[in-house]
Amino acid sequence: MEDVVYLVLALASLLVVLLARRWRHSSPEGEDKLRLPPGPWTLPVIGSIHHIAGALPHQAMRDLARRHGWPVMLLRLGEVPTLVVSSREGAREVMKTHDAAFATRPLSSTVRVLTNGGRDIIFAPYGEHWRQMRKIAVTELLTARRVLSFRAIREEEVGAMLRAVASAAGDGDAIDMRARLSVLVADTTVRAVMGDRCKDRDVFVRELDRSIGLAGGFNPADLWPSSRLAVWASGAVRRAEECRDIVFGILDGIIAEHQQRMGTVDGDDEDLIDVLLRVQNDGSLQLPLDMDSIKAVIFVIFGAGSETSATTLEWIMAELVKNPKVMKRATTEVRRAFEAGGKVEGGGSAAGVDFRGADFELLPFGAGRRMCPGMAFGLANVELALASLLLHFDWEAPGVANPAEFDMTEAFGITNRRKAGLLLRPILRVPVPVPVPGV
């Protein structure tokens, strides 16, 4: 997939070069006087793009930084100056010491469309709107108590997954882990946000997946924003508008149903749409919470929560299969902790690296004031699912004689999925509990 992306990139760059005679390529006034970080040599129009073409961008940037010894470097991706930080010290400076200076996240043309101009939590420009949305997220939407209130949903959805996996194990079948884990996380998130399963779930998830591809894909208009040709040649914005309209149309109907039942749902029975509507109507907000913001928040919660959690689980299972000793240790520890036939419950803790923003070598949720507010929600989904899969099953990769040669190639994209699908065969070791009606 990435080869196709970079081929398109090269063709688009060539087209722009042919018209570049009419463009000015001088540095912006005063830029030469600034003390800018070092960076590799650039070409007219395309800037530094040729240095990262042909490889996954994050790997190419890592290799550039290592080759030149630059913990902080400046790339020019088309017209866009891009700062690349490749050390924990630099990350600390950006995300903690000077986080206010870096708090605004540039909106790509597709993200601008998908979030109604940054009306959500993740991509909102730093300012009063963002502060209000962040406060709603950390005090209402994604609190520890709220996440705990979704425990029954998580357990029901994980239980359904385990029964499906046990059925496949009984037949000796391999499982498409990406598909199975994506269904698990999507259904859990749908019920937490909407309170029940969505009748348009398949369409919603399809368009959500499409939007993630558009947000993380190559778009000439983002690299050459001043070029009318680049904007005209890109169909990404039009596709993003189509995707947004479909998703927001589905959300309009769901929100209307929630508005009709307002006042009849209290406390721990609220889903996330109930919470947003209650906050909208309680009169305590400094800025109005309009429907565009509510829909953008819901859309981003799905995009950020579902995709990242499912991809994380898939990579963990792949890493464990590739490293049988680690897999053996993990399954032994889980089964010892919960005992054979026991029940896995969420909410535990594990020793190890602090990935919650204190250790700047590992920042899956970011750090500083723009740290991911959905960390507790994501961890709860991942931990329960992973512990359950390791408690009840052993795992093997059919057709892979040497686990060390297991394919771990990454795909191009905003969350770096595996390039190849993950087919694993489960072997039942601890019986899966059968749900008792009414309990």
pLDDT tens column, 121-161: 999 999 999 999 999 999 999 999 999 999 999 999 999 99
Q: State which amino acid sits at residue 322.
A: K
Run of H or E including 425: strand 423-428
pLDDT band at 354 (very low <50, low <70, confident <90, very high): confident
191, 388 Cβ separation under 8 angstroms? no
Cα distance between residue 270 and residue 263, in whole Å: 10
The lowest-confidence range among 223-237, 266-280, 347-361 is 347-361
Per-residue model confidence (pLDDT) at position 307: 85
CA-wise closest residue to 229 among 7, 10, 13: 13
174 exposure class (CB count in 10 Å sphere: 0-12, 13-18, 19+): middle
**Confidence tier at 437 by pLDDT (50, 70, 90):** low
∠ CA 395-396-398, rounded to 5°: 145
Positive or negative: CA dihedral 143, 149, 152, 157 = negative
Whether residue 342 has pLDDT greater than 80: no
> Are 385 and 313 contacting, i.e. CB atoms less than 8 angstroms apart?
yes
pLDDT in tens, 35-44: 899 999 999 9
Segments in 270-407 forming alpha helices (H):
272-281, 291-322, 324-338, 375-392
The conformation of residue 94, written as its DSSP 8-state character, comes to I
Domains of the chain: 2-86 (no CATH), 128-217+228-428 (1.10.630.10)
Strands (DSSP E) along 40-97, which ranges? 72-77, 80-85
Listed in sequence order, the DSSP H helices in 139-200 are 144-149, 151-171, 177-194
What are the backbone dihedrals phi and psi of residue 331, each rounded to the nearest 5 degrees, phi first? Answer: -65, -40
pLDDT tens string 72-103? 999 999 999 999 999 999 999 999 999 999 99
Residues 161-189 have a mean pLDDT of 95
Please state, in angstroms and rounded to a whole number, the distance separating the CA atoms of residues 302 and 308: 10
Q: What is the pLDDT of residue 436?
A: 65
Q: Is residue 359 within 8 Å of residue 95, measured between CB atoms?
A: no
List the Cα angle 62/63/65 in 5-degree steps: 65
Tell me the pLDDT band of 430, cut-offs 50, 70 and 90.
Answer: very high
Q: Is the pTM of this model over 0.75?
A: yes
Position 255 scores a pLDDT of 94
Contact 410/417 with Cβ under 8 angstroms? yes
Contact present, 229 and 19 (Cβ < 8 Å): yes
15, pLDDT greater than 60: no
